Amino acid sequence: MTVQIGAAPAADAALLDLLSALKRADYRFVTPTPATHSFVRQRSSAGEDVLRDVFGWSRPFNLDQLPQPFALLMEAAGILQRAGDAWRSTLRVSSVGETLYLHSAPSRDNDAVFLGPDSYRFARFLASTFRSGEPFKTALDLGTGAGVGALTLKAAVPEADVTASDINPAALRLARLNGTASGHMLHCQLASGIPDELATFEVIVSNPPYIAGDVGKTYRDGGDEYGAALALSWVRASAGRLTPGGRFILYTGAPVVAGRDVVMDALVQIAAEQERSLQYEELDPDVFGSTLRQNAYQSVERIAAVGAILTQP
């Protein structure tokens, strides 16, 4: 069942108008890691670009600092939050390529909608995969978050029918709005994994949570196997949901234990069991190094960012 996920229509309309106003202002912001974001945000702002301070760095501000019509749109959208004597935005806006994405401001909420360096690597991996212009008709972005994967697919093949799936209603709302603002319609489905329907897809893509030990944080918790369990379970479950010749395209973090890539070893086994071909690439040898301080990672020497393509026979 395709569901429309949204708040009040007036709030959604205000967010769309906000994205349009930021686009006209040539707003751009690349979101770094949470640690870098937190460090830079503590610096006093020079005030040279108030829009990036408010919607990028999530700094507190006074309403009279904002040019029109931003304060009115934020109030109508319900994204103003008190910060002492000032205000903060509960949403950020980041640019991935030419597309602006609404996503959560720094938050400890379990339903936060994350966008960060992994999103950029994921988008580049997908763009490089489809650079040849090979067409497809149906695709699924599994665990879509803010919709980066789904909208990268639409940019590559605009005529494709792309479904965005996520367990988080807030994520689906923002993915739908981000798609509308960029001129692309997405089918949004609320699901904890591959939607429980009979539909099959030519392409399934995913950038799943892959951090161990973050139980309850849907945008981070990858489960057991050093955080790889969720990604591997989705890969296994996709076998019957791909058309002949269909592809599961995975971007994830791969824990390396005593020189052994846990994700690659598991994918080799899955590919053999399901008679799928496997392409595998290490995209970045070391990401989120501070995570290794956690108890769940005492045996892990590094986490690599990897891309994999499993092709259905």
Cβ-contact 107, 76 below 8 angstroms: no
Average confidence (pLDDT) over 200-212: 93
Paired tokens of 244: 């002949």
Residues 70-129 have pLDDT tens digits of 999 999 999 999 999 999 999 999 999 999 999 999 887 888 999 999 999 999 999 999
C-alpha 169, offset from chain centre: 14
- Residue 219, pLDDT above cutoff 60: no
Cβ-contact 81, 54 below 8 angstroms: no
Residues 252-309 have pLDDT tens digits of 999 999 999 999 999 999 999 999 999 999 999 999 888 888 888 899 999 999 999 9
- Residue 145, pLDDT above cutoff 80: yes
Give me the amino acid identity at 215: V
Q: What is the pLDDT of residue 34?
A: 87
Cβ-contact 254, 265 below 8 angstroms: no
Residues 14-26 have pLDDT tens digits of 999 999 999 999 9
Q: What is the pLDDT of residue 217?
A: 45
> Could you give all domains of the chain from N- to C-terminal order, each with its CATH number?
9-104 (no CATH), 117-311 (3.40.50.150)
Q: What is the pLDDT of residue 223?
A: 58
75: CB partners within 8 A, 6+ apart: none
Percent of the chain with pLDDT over 90: 75
